[in-house]
Amino acid sequence: MECVAGTTLGEFIIRQQSAFPDATGELSTLLSSLQRAARVVNREINRAGISDVLGSMEQLNVQGEEQQKLDWFANERFKEALAARGEVCGLASEEEEGFVSFSPVNTRPGKYVVLIDPLDGSSNIDVNISIGTIFSIYRRVSPLDGPAQLEDFLQPGCKQVAAGYIIYGSSTMLVYSTGQGVNGFTLDPSLGSFFLSHPNMRIPERGRIYSINEGNYQDFPTGVKRFIKHCQEDSPEQGRPYSSRYIGSLVADFHRNLIKGGIYLYPPGTNLPDGKLRLLYEANPLAFLMEQAGGLATDGSTPLLQLQPRTLHQRTPCYLGSRYLMLQLMKTLVEA
């Protein structure tokens, strides 16, 4: 059902639900819980310079990375918001070693599990660079009368029922898809509501931007090196080299390329033979959005959404972007 710009996120969710007579409303309520937690996290991020939320917790998270105060804060807020409602039976987070099983609310078993990167790029908050939250939603596959199980979380990305991200930048946006296209909503802080600002988002088929940390060039596979050289040369389709743009905050890089067109690359390297990005918390939800917006997503040989996860914190090479650039990349990788 078509909605016009200015529609609130709540109204949009209700109208989408009405288009499916068998919808029971649980997924809509779940998405509403995510937006409420996002508003709380956004408020704290905007106050970061004048409140005690900057800096490190002086401890390592499960990834072996220094945990930031805002990482912990965001993780707790999203966990609380999802546990308070009966739609979710469990949560897996980049900040948690294992998954968290929620007790039923009012004896109602949760039908969904959520996987989340609560605050991607949080190390950039000290220098006021855009950061974000990435989320992924699946229907549970374990029995409804029991607690969440590991198998509920280790599902391939093609089984996602919804995915999205919140970007905290010059404006705060929530971008998500339930498999019916991609829509973006901008937060009006004076009203505390998200309003539809980017309906039916589609990534340009060609694009002019490539995004990669070229500081790791020497460790890249041969095919990726050749593709970068191609991007740096005069291209026949536009008569000049592609533009290199890399923020180092995944959500910000992805969001820019989704709107302007381009390709994001995080290949394997000598120190990261399996890549850096997490399949469940970063690659899968963004691949779902990219394909819904008309782009492509791969690990270099297999579509990301077809990969069968083995562990909660599995890493993967990741390539996401405009169809034309992705086809050029995949051709180069095969020929290398």
| 296 annotated among ligand-binding-site residues | no
| 97 annotated among ligand-binding-site residues | no
| 265 annotated among ligand-binding-site residues | yes
| 94 annotated among ligand-binding-site residues | yes
Nearest to 26 by CA among 85, 101, 75: 85
| 120 annotated among ligand-binding-site residues | yes
| DSSP for residue 234 | P
| 246 annotated among ligand-binding-site residues | yes
* Residue 141 · residue 288 · CB < 8 Å: no
| 276 annotated among ligand-binding-site residues | yes
| 210 annotated among ligand-binding-site residues | no
- CA separation for the pair 63, 313 (Å, rounded): 8
Q: DSSP for 235-281? A: PTTTSSPPEE---S-HHHHHHHHHHH-EEEEE---SS-TT-SEEIII
- CA separation for the pair 262, 132 (Å, rounded): 19
Q: What angle do CA 161, 301, 262 make, to 5 degrees?
A: 70
| 335 annotated among ligand-binding-site residues | no
Specify binding-site residues for Mg(2+): 94, 117, 119-120, 282
Specify binding-site residues for substrate: 120-123, 213, 246, 264-266, 276
Specify binding-site residues: 94, 117, 119-123, 213, 246, 264-266, 276, 282
